[in-house]
Amino acid sequence: MAHRKRSAAGRRPRTALALLPAAALLSGCAAPAGTGAAAPDPVPEEAGFDYQIGGAYPPPPGTGLVVRDRAAEPADGAYSVCYVNGFQTQEPETARWRADHPELLLTEDGDPVMDTDWNEQLFDVSTEANRTALAEAVGTWIDGCAGDGFDAVEIDNLDSPLRSRGLLTEDDALAYAGLLIDRAHAAGLAAGQKNAVESAARGAAAGFDFAVAEECARYGECADYADAYPGRVYDVEYRRPDFERACGAPVPGVSVVLRDLAVSPPGDPGHVHEVCG
């Protein structure tokens, strides 16, 4: 199927990003969380769901699972998922990656290969050496999520090969994802696949524990996610007709929330949050 671009909501807010020291961000020297870490808590099934990466706020009543940016604190009283951009640079860190580790960034004929929607350069996960180095760097963020008290991590941009001009493959992405999954599990966190429905079955086989999908009702993908992650699919819809269709003909095991495109907190004029009644 033709792949759609992610909606504007499916990314960490730029103002929330805290720059990390270069050594911590890119050195590749950080060790994984200790092997004695507790096993991840089970991901709740068919729980009420909220997607708060545009700004944290107290979870509405009945919310059992909340996704927040890694710069935020975990949600009190809910299973808390930490958003991490695992496959692409993120502003304002792109310049630092280019200065310190250009060999880990994808280029074609010397030109950066970009996700033009977000001005992010793709990581070059085409070799085992690069995948290992990148997993160490991104692993520091995953360890930070664990240290902050999150229960799980959502790893964005598994579908980056679709924006790679054919330079990356699904096999490359899944091999790299496996390293991040291992890092999350070693830290005591469950690991969530983000979008990339075409890789859902292989993502589950690689070790992902659940899926966060954007607009799976709009694009008729919810059942495919549910087949791979029964009871553990969390879908964000941004258009009311799609949300109403999802609620009117629910796919078993898929929890649905309607959010505004900015996933803004209450008090913002554009804030929208509804769940199926």
**Total-model pTM:** 0.88
In one-letter notation, the amino acid at residue 183 is: R
Question: Which pLDDT score is estimated for 24?
Answer: 47
Structure tokens at 59: 């979870």
Rg of the chain (C-alpha set): 18
pLDDT in tens, the chain (277 residues): 333 334 444 444 333 333 344 444 444 444 444 445 678 989 999 999 999 999 999 999 999 999 999 999 999 999 999 999 999 998 889 999 999 999 999 999 999 999 999 999 999 999 999 999 999 999 999 999 999 999 999 999 999 999 999 999 999 999 999 999 999 999 999 999 999 999 999 999 999 999 999 999 999 999 999 999 999 999 999 999 999 999 999 999 999 999 999 999 999 999 999 999 8
Question: Which pLDDT score is estimated for 130?
Answer: 98
Contacts of 14 (CB under 8 A, 6+ apart): 91, 92
Answer yes or no: are the C-beta atoms of 242 and 268 closer than 8 Å. no
Task: Give the pairing type, strands 79-85 and 63-69.
Answer: parallel
Structure tokens at 30: 């950080």
Structure tokens at 90: 């993120």
Q: Torsion over CA of 96, 86, 150 and 139, rounded to 10 degrees?
A: -70
How many CB atoms are located within 10 Å of the residue 134 CB? 23
114 Rama class: left (phi>0) / alpha (psi -120 to 50) / beta: beta
